[in-house]
């Protein structure tokens, strides 16, 4: 596996490239142009600036997360073709700096959803938390104030220009069914995947987070069957999935290790993190250690190892520990600990494999 680390860029992250360089085994940064409005073509000069920064520390830029999808594409509006053309040109530009994987999602209106960005845990650490009853009773505008109200950082997936149109968007989605959303995704992929293929890039769709409908909006990337359907929409190595153990793992019915074993050949990018479930439907993001959460992270890593996984892996959301002041879920310390835990499991499996061969 190839270990990478998400970085939000100059002036938009508390973690520096110098610090990331000191985490063993990290070879690339996962990046994006967070200041470019969704749907616009990415400027080549800004792309090259990231290349210069990465080169200074010996990192590659092979994974982008995310080139987000304009709502007109998800809604299937006639204007979607303009945004799809912009997306194609962005793919071509990204290929010039060595990008191999583009992570994206197809969630209507909202990206990831939590009700508490810094919920205190038993040991004094804080973490992202989802309270089911609160979401069920919450108004969408209240959620926007909670998530997008963090003024210190851009919040990926919560772009201000989109959220300012919240009421019209909800109205527009009233007529969009789950099947409609699948058709709109297929339309997008049929036009994008050939361009990705031509440029040596694999598209990797991120699951819905959490993997169930929110506020009556359709959500389609939620389980094993939806991954299978995605991969059949356009049967190409350039049409893949970002398998996020935490997003899919928020639903206790999802067997993440089984998904890895079934779809490993179509997973160019993996997010590995743990969550702890509660019986009332709440969940909190724990440390990466298997025994600290509800997911068997050891078996998930083993599933990748069994399949000779050579894709990209990053530790996903971490806790906020040792009084670190950072963007929600994206501090330095706990993600670095997560990397060392993942390497520990992987290295043990490697040693066991070599021992059997010997």
- Give the residue numbers marked as catalytic: 206, 244, 271, 316-317, 330
CA angle 348, 258, 249 (to 5 degrees): 90
Residue 108, token pair as written in the block: 């209507």
Half-sphere exposure of 330 (CA within 13 A, CB side): 19
What are the C-alpha distances in Å from 308 to residues 3, 242, 262? Answer: 14, 17, 13
Residue at token pair 């959490």: 210
Residue 50 to residue 43: CA distance in whole angstroms: 12
Residue at token pair 């963007």: 327
Contact call for residues 280 and 287 (beta carbons, < 8 A): no
Contact call for residues 143 and 113 (beta carbons, < 8 A): yes
Task: Report the DSSP beta bridge partners of residue 346.
Answer: none
């Amino acid at each position: 596996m190839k270990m990478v680390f998400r970085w939000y860029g100059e002036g938009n992250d508390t973690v520096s490239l110098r610090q990331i360089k000191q985490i063993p085994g990290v070879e690339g940064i996962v990046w994006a142009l967070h200041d470019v409005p969704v749907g616009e073509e990415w400027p080549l000069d800004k792309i090259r600036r990231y290349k210069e920064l990465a080169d200074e520390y010996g990192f590659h830029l092979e994974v982008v997360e995310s080139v987000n999808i304009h709502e007109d594409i998800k809604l299937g509006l006639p204007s979607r073709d303009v945004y799809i053309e912009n997306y194609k040109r962005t793919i071509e530009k990204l290929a010039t700096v060595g990008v191999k994987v583009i992570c994206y999602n197809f969630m209507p209106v909202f990206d990831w959803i939590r009700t508490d960005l810094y919920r205190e845990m038993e040991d004094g650490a804080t973490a992202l938390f989802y309270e089911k009853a609160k979401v069920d009773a919450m108004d969408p505008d209240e959620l926007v104030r909670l998530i997008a109200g963090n003024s210190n950082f851009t919040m990926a997936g919560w772009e201000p220009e989109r959220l300012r149109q919240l009421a019209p968007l909800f109205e527009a989605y009233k007529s969009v069914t789950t099947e409609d959303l699948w058709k709109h995704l297929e339309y997008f992929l049929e036009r994008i995947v050939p361009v990705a293929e031509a440029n040596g890039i694999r598209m990797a769709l991120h699951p819905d987070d959490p993997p169930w409908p929110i506020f009556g909006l359709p959500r389609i990337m939620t389980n094993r069957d939806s991954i299978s359907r995605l991969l059949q929409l356009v049967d190409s190595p350039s049409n893949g999935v970002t398998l996020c153990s935490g997003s899919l793992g928020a639903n206790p019915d999802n067997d993440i290790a089984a998904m890895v074993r079934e779809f490993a050949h179509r997973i160019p990018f993996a997010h590995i993190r743990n969550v702890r479930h509660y019986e009332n439907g709440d969940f909190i993001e724990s440390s990466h250690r298997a025994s600290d959460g509800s997911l068997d992270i050891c078996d998930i890593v083993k599933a990748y190892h069994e399949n000779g996984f050579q894709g990209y892996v990053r530790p996903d959301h971490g806790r906020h520990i040792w009084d670190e002041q950072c963007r929600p879920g994206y501090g330095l310390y706990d993600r670095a600990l997560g990397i060392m835990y993942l390497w520990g499991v992987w290295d043990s499996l490697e040693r066991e494999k070599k021992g059997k061969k010997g």
